Amino acid sequence: MPFVVENHRRTISIETAEITEFSYTVEGIHEKIKARITESLDKDNDWPFYWEVSHDYDAFPDKPTSLMSPSSRNGRTFDEAYESMRAYLQNMTPHLRLNEQY
């Protein structure tokens, strides 16, 4: 499991959401990994926290269909979303693909 270091964090507010942006260094990966957690300010949302990462990774680079994409990117709390995002980062391999949705 690679070592993950959070280099930068900032929070910005817009009319409908609060966004916390991160920059990470992941052991064995030369690119900086960016991530963000968006909190929807819609009070009717039971899962208001959504996280995303700038890169997906191949768990098994010899298999063309091994691109790892998180099965769940939502959380009920900031901490829940953060821990889920960190777990994803800690499993990254050096075989990255840019997340086109980021």
For the chain, the structural domain boundaries read 4-98
pLDDT digits (tens, 9 = 90+) for 24-58: 999 989 999 999 999 999 888 899 999 999 998 88
pTM of the model: 0.87
Residue 65: pLDDT above 80? no
Q: Dihedral sign, CA of 80, 19, 102, 16?
A: positive
* Ramachandran area for residue 28 (φ above 0: left; ψ -120 to 50: alpha; else beta): left
**CB atoms inside a 10 Å sphere around CB 33:** 19
Q: What is the pLDDT of residue 19?
A: 97
92: phi then psi, degrees, rounded to nearest 5: -60, 145
Give per-residue burial for 36-47: e unless 16+ CB within 10 Å, then b. Answer: bbbbeeeeeeee
Longest dimension (CA), the chain: 45
